[in-house]
Chain A
Amino acid sequence: MSQNLIQAADLSLFGADPLWLVLLKVVAIFVILVLVTLITIIMERKVVSWMQWRVGPNRVGPNGSLQSLMDGIKLALKEEIIPRTADRAVYWLAPVIACVPAFMTWAVIPLGPEVSIFGTTTPLQLTDFPVSVLYVLAIASVGIYGIVLAGWSSGSTYALLGGLRSSAQMISYEIPMGLSFVAVFLYAGSLSTSQIVEAQTQTWYIILLLPSFLIYVTAMVGETNRAPFDLPEAEGELVGGFHTEYSSLKFALFFLAEYINMVTVSAMATTLFLGGWRAPWPFSLWDGANSGWVPMIWFFGKIAAFLFVFIWLRGTLPRLRYDQFMKFGWKFLLPVSIAWILIVAVARAIRNEQALDLQQAVQAYGLPLAGLLVLYWLFEEFRDRRKERLAAESAKTDAVVEFDPFAGGHPVPPMPGQSLPSASANSLPAQES
């Protein structure tokens, strides 16, 4: 608890900026996000083309690097087509709702330590408060409205199906995402992003809490509707999904929101598990690596690594079937994350109460527990399979038994696997006769 007190004092760094500095930070975050989006799009096209043995965009600018800028201008100048069946107000509102929260999240992302801007010492973060990770989750859940409303207001079946899918998908994957944060909160003793970074001075949480990290990384791909979880816009099934009926600048806003969300979840993964702006190992030996403006390099480098993985996934994996995707989220990710939180909580409690070494605690309680859980899961899995096999076999043998419409002396419907005798033979008069 004393740890929490120290950290509560640390938050006083925030909220003391003069107005001009706040505005400067807001504008800087906006500019950074738009630039990062442009870079991400060109990076995606170049990396995917590299993975597919082709050149990719190579006409505009040096080595095609201005292609996404030009595409953005083209997109904004295109003709706008609004379907007649659209609900105009909501149709107009949806891209705004999708886009604004995407920017808002970055208010609490720590980009670096304290620096001096025009003589004012300030952290490289717009603001922070005791629940800023919850703020990120809350804002993300508002952003889903944009997609869902876009699907609904278009007045088109494909868009509606995409919207329905995305609402179900994002709610489902928000749960494992939130649960993967819990272990981090337990270790950091705080929900504020700057303090979580502070708490990772010694060890990054990816090492301490690897399962949480893996759950988060899976959930973040589902949360951003990216391949292989891009079911809301599955081209093969839904044309374009929720944005089928959108064109011009409104479509561009959805595009922008999707890419900013990618960057945001990467930034959250960096902050929560990869030490935020702290330098990775060989560089951390240099004293200057964690002070001043230098840490922004590490921060954006880590984000770029996540973005590369996003693109890699898209270039490699086929899209999941919808029911498989849901099954994975609810029947695998959710129980695994709950079990993991249980283990972490027990480890923390033991450490707090008995002052046991963490390693000892994990060895004494966590590992046997984890082993039991894995065994139980395997047992369930095999039992299910056996059940399915038996059911399939019995269905096959049942089908052989012929349908008796008066089994037991009463008129009865056919059992599963049996079929009614063909109707034309006895009840309906045949046309020829």
Chain B
Amino acid sequence: MEFAFWICAILAVVGALGMVFSKKAVHSALFVALTMLNLAVLYAVLEAPFLSMVQVIVYTGAVMMLFLFVLMVVGVDSSDSLTESIKGQRVPALLGGAALGVILVGLLGNVVTYNFGLDSATAAADGNMQGLANLIFNRYLFAFEVTSALLITAAIGAMVLAHREHHTPRPTQRDLAEKRFLSGRHPGSLPAPGIYARHNAVDTPALLPDGTMSALSVPKPLASRGALKAVDIAAGEEVSALSRGEAVITSQSTDQVEG
């Protein structure tokens, strides 16, 4: 137990310091996740498995993930500006932090020396989950319900704030498709350029089933520069004839292809 404590406690402190000192916001978020995971392990070691798992699922898995989601939108290259926006905050902040540290060390040290872990409480309540459920749904039911009402209010508030009224109905997939076809432009993706043994490139127009060349299949700048390499006309005509069923492949045409 002490072994696990020293590993996890050191890692948790490293995570906390890393969060403060890293320049990129995403690195900070990762360090917080590290701290939270180590706290979860410590909870597990102290015989609070439910709290430990909830810590990971809720804080590491959901809350930090949402933070990360927001931070990622900021982008990979951005780092926070390091200019101090509130003047003269350092000394009060240090003093306040130190005071909080003293209080925490004093109080927690006091608690820890008396009571270490949930072994006895768990044994008395016939298991960690059962004990927790008993407390939450009997003794602290009112507090639990009030908390959940608060959370739901907050969630609804967030939804109301983020809600945007649509003045016009959103175009459905069908509307978009109709608009695309009515515009008169090519409705789908453009045909790919021709891939031939001699011209395996974008500058060779594709041949349509009737043997004509498709102008849509090649980039316009190439066409305006006159840089297109058309398939030779004989082949085009032959394809055209083939598509109409008027010609069959003769030995002569095969020779031409090979030659």
Residue ranges of A at the interface with B (Cβ–Cβ < 8 Å): 1, 4-5, 8, 85-87, 89-90, 129-131, 134-135, 137-142, 144-145, 148-149, 151-155, 160, 163-164, 167-168, 171, 174, 178, 191, 321, 388, 391-392, 395, 416-417
With both chains docked as a complex, state the minimum distance between the C-beta of A378 and any C-beta of chain B, in angstroms. 20
| C-alpha gap A138/B201 in the complex (Å) | 51
| C-alpha gap A178/B253 in the complex (Å) | 68
| C-alpha gap A163/B129 in the complex (Å) | 35
Q: A135-B53, A138-B40, A164-B69 are in contact. List 17 more A-B contacts (CB 8 A).
A: A4-B126, A85-B76, A130-B129, A131-B50, A134-B50, A134-B57, A142-B60, A145-B33, A154-B76, A160-B72, A160-B75, A164-B72, A168-B69, A171-B61, A171-B62, A391-B168, A417-B168
Select one of A4, A90, A151, A153 contacting B127, CB under 8 A.
A4
With both chains docked as a complex, state the minimum distance between the C-beta of A13 and any C-beta of chain B, in angstroms. 16
Chain B residues with Cβ under 8 A from A321's Cβ? 173
Contact between A142 and B56 (Cβ–Cβ < 8 Å)?
yes
With contacts A131-B49, A149-B30, A191-B129 known, is A392 near B65, CB below 8 A?
Answer: no
Is B37's beta carbon under 8 Å from chain A?
yes
Chain A residues with Cβ under 8 A from B33's Cβ? 145
With both chains docked as a complex, state the minimum distance between the C-beta of A182 and any C-beta of chain B, in angstroms. 13
Chain A residues with Cβ under 8 A from B129's Cβ? 130-131, 191
Chain B residues with Cβ under 8 A from A152's Cβ? 26, 68, 72, 76
Is B226's beta carbon under 8 Å from chain A?
no
With contacts A142-B61, A191-B129 known, is A87 near B66, CB below 8 A?
Answer: no
Q: Name the residue on B nearest A394 (C-beta).
A: B169
Contact between A131 and B53 (Cβ–Cβ < 8 Å)?
yes
| C-alpha gap A426/B192 in the complex (Å) | 44
Chain B residues with Cβ under 8 A from A191's Cβ? 129
Chain A residues with Cβ under 8 A from B127's Cβ? 4, 8, 130
Chain B residues with Cβ under 8 A from A1's Cβ? 126, 130
Is B24's beta carbon under 8 Å from chain A?
yes
With both chains docked as a complex, state the minimum distance between the C-beta of A21 and any C-beta of chain B, in angstroms. 21
With contacts A8-B127, A395-B168 known, is A87 near B69, CB below 8 A?
Answer: no
Q: Name the residue on B nearest A152 (C-beta).
A: B72
| C-alpha gap A152/B109 in the complex (Å) | 40
Contact between A87 and B24 (Cβ–Cβ < 8 Å)?
yes
Select one of B27, B69, B77 contacting A167, CB under 8 A.
B69
With both chains docked as a complex, state the minimum distance between the C-beta of A154 and any C-beta of chain B, in angstroms. 8
Chain A residues with Cβ under 8 A from B87's Cβ? none
Q: Which of A1, A131, A148, A153 has the most CB of B within 10 A?
A: A131
Contact between B167 and A145 (Cβ–Cβ < 8 Å)?
no
A sample of 16 cross-chain residue pairs with beta-carbon separation below 8 angstroms, ordered by A number, consists of A129-B49, A131-B53, A135-B53, A138-B60, A138-B61, A141-B61, A141-B62, A142-B60, A145-B33, A145-B65, A152-B68, A152-B72, A153-B76, A167-B68, A174-B61, A416-B168
